[in-house]
Structure 1
Amino acid sequence: MTDHECRRALEPARIAHFIRDGFVRIDNAFSRDLADAARAIMWRDLPCREHDPATWTRPVIRLPGYSDAPFRDAINTAVLHAAFDQIVGPGRWRPRRDIGTLPVRFPHPDDPGDAGWHVDVSFPDEDCDPNETSDFSAWRVNITSRGRALLLLFLFSDVGENDAPTRIRVGSHLQMARYLEPAGEAGRARMELDGMGADCPIALATGPAGTVYICHPFLVHAAQKHRGTWPRFLVQPCLHLAEPYRLERADGDYSPVEIAIRIALERA
């Protein structure tokens, strides 16, 4: 990839697609070698054996965040940094050194228990216990997506339609923005979003290992049961903001994330 291509990972039509639909897919965002190395680390830590399906006794197992080289390198490729600059804005996001919690989904007849439609929350309620870091039930999301620049979907294994791909309600980020606006800076928590974007088309986050979906932070999405034959390795790390999103800028230098929100609120 040339320096120019690194600086502009996404063509204008793809930026427009992100604004309208709430996500854009980047193929070969990181190499298959990195994906293979990362999966080897995860298999090492899973309480089951890779080539023994009889040991795959749970529909989903969550692994802690990793900062090992293949994960760190996968989230910091030149093409992804260039895309983050285009979608969030240069200097407005913070690089990650770890990949975040990783749910591994297995072929299994049971419901995984976590397949509801939702958006990812990004900051704690003022009444949250600061010592409790695993309970996100009272966390919130607000109209400027405090604390979260993007939702990212990293495919560390090949994911087909039967392999529990993340479901995406296309364009739901616009409805979500209108839902969040009345709550102001305080935002909303404990949201029931089964009906949010129910009239939107559904896209599936499929693709070969190394694919990344860059998603608007308000995009409504959901997990699903694994109906395939091989475990699915997909992680959705948060990209953090270096400065808050702003819906009013004197210089008019709005990012595509901000433009989408402004369109939803009829400010653009």
Structure 2
Amino acid sequence: MPKTDQTSLTSCQVQSFIDDGFVRIENAFSTDLARQCRDALWIEMGLSPDEPQNWTQPVLRMGWKCSTPFIGAANTPQLHQAYDQLAGKSRWLAPKGLGTFPIRFPSSESAGDDGWHVDMSFGEASPDFMEWRANVKSKGRALLMLFLLSDVGPDDAPTKIRKGSHAFIARELLPYGDAGATLRQLSANGYASTQGCEIELATGAAGTVYLCHPFLVHAAQPHRGERPRFMAQPPLLPRGEFEPALSPSPTQLAIRQACELGF
């Protein structure tokens, strides 16, 4: 699986993003920033890394954080370069922090949130999240991002990724046009079209970031390790709608490749 700790992505890595739907960037932000983020989250949770007897829930969810370490982790020069390369130069908004945080603890208890899904990108005004939407132009989202704030091994509840699933979802969204499909519509068949996709685990050291196509199908899983897993899953927001006059970004190229579209 392509990865990098260089200043910019190689052409092979960009093509892998188009084909597979994601790229992994090691050392995208410092381990010190990751530690500062974890420290802040421990404080807000009212828990301690040294008192595992108090880790009584399989997952705790924390909202958006915009203090200095979270802003810094999301806006390193390496990540800004990668945002340009994948979402289009200057076609994205600099993140104002990180969130949300599904913090997973070692537990034999199911968290009940481990189904395969695609993150919706607009329509959040509806109180029913199953009515939130996505459309084939990926309105409202330039990238899905996974920020590892702790070391994540195979037993530490790494996010499961279906490689290449974004292409199937693009084709399924196409008939819905600009209005898009709701989560209820898109998930009605359990993402059956992507069941044959190879599964990749989002593992890595603290400071690793997975930059993913917005249509990538992914899922949580139980934590079978020993230390809590800290991760943020923010969107990269676009500056606006796709602009046909500009050369297509890799995010757009992946959709065009899947659907044979001209935008």
TM-score range, shorter chain: over 0.9
What's the counterpart of residue 235 of structure 2?
A: 238
Query: TM-score, length-normalised on structure 1?
Result: 0.91
Task: Output the CA distance in 1 between the equivalents of 2:210 and 2:102.
Answer: 16
Aligned to 2:65: 66
Cα deviation 1:44-75 (Å, max 9, x = unaligned): 11143321211111110011211111110000
Shift of 1:242: 0.1
How far does residue 196 in structure 1 lie from its aligned partner after superposition?
3.7
Distance 2:83 2:159 in 1: 21
Aligned to 1:150: 143
Match of 1:264 in 2: 258
Q: Secondary structure at the match of 1:83?
A: helix
Listed one character per residue, the Cα deviations across residues 13-63 of structure 1 (whole Å, up to 9, x for unaligned) are 000110000000000000000001110111111143321211111110011
Amino acid at match of 2:95: R
Deviation at 1:194?
4.0
1:62 match: secondary structure: strand
In 1, distance between residues paired with 2:193 and 2:72?
35
1:215 correspondence with 2:201: no
Is this contact kept in 2: 1:163–1:230, CA < 8 A? yes
Please show how residues 153-172 of structure 1 align to structure 2 within 5 Å.
153-172=146-165
Task: Please list every run of 5 or more consecutive structure 2 residues that lacks an aligned counterpart in the other structure.
Answer: 1-5
- Runs of 4+ in structure 1 deviating by more than 4 angstroms, as ranges, are none
Q: 1:267 to 1:184 in 2, by over 3 A?
A: closer
> Residues of 2 paired with 1:226 and 1:48: CA distance?
18
CA distance in 1, matches of 2:158, 2:72: 23
Equivalent position amino acid for 2:72 in 1: D
- Which runs of no fewer than 5 residues in structure 1 stay unpaired? none
1:136 aligns with 2:94: no
Question: Could you tell which deviates more after superposition, 77-86 or 183-192?
Answer: 183-192
Aligned equivalents of 1:245 and 1:75: distance in 2? 23
Match of 2:93 in 1: 94
Q: CA deviation digits over 1:93-147, x for unaligned, max 9? A: 001112122110001111111111111001117xx45xx5xx5221100000110
Q: Does the Cα contact within 8 Å between 1:23 and 1:213 map onto a contact in 2? A: yes
Partner amino acid, structure 2, of 1:266: E
Conserved 8 A contact 1:196-1:220: no
- Partner of 1:168: helix, strand, or coil? strand
Which residue of structure 1 aligns with residue 3 of structure 2? none
Q: Is the 8 A contact 1:148 1:217 kept in 2?
A: yes
Question: Take 1:225 and 1:195, find their aligned partners in 2: how far apart are those partners?
Answer: 22
**2:110 matched to which residue of 1?**
111
**Is the contact made by 1:19 and 1:256 (CA closer than 8 Å) also made in structure 2?**
yes
- Tell me if 1:227 matches 2:224: yes
CA–CA distance in 1 between the matches of 2:199 and 2:9?
23
The partner residue of 2:201 within 194, 199, 204 is: 204
Deviation of the 1:264 alpha carbon? 0.3
Distance 1:49 1:137 in 2: 35
Secondary structure of 1:184's aligned partner: helix
SS in 1 for 2:192: coil
AA of the residue aligned to 1:150 = L
Report the Cα distance in structure 2 between the residues aligned to 1:228 and 1:11, rounded to whole angstroms. Answer: 34
User: Which amino acid letter does the alignment assign opposite residue 154 of structure 2?
Assistant: E
How far apart, CA to CA, are the structure 2 residues paired with 1:45 and 1:10? 35
Indicate conservation of the 8 Å contact 1:163/1:227, yes or no. Answer: yes
TM-score (normalizing by structure 2): 0.92
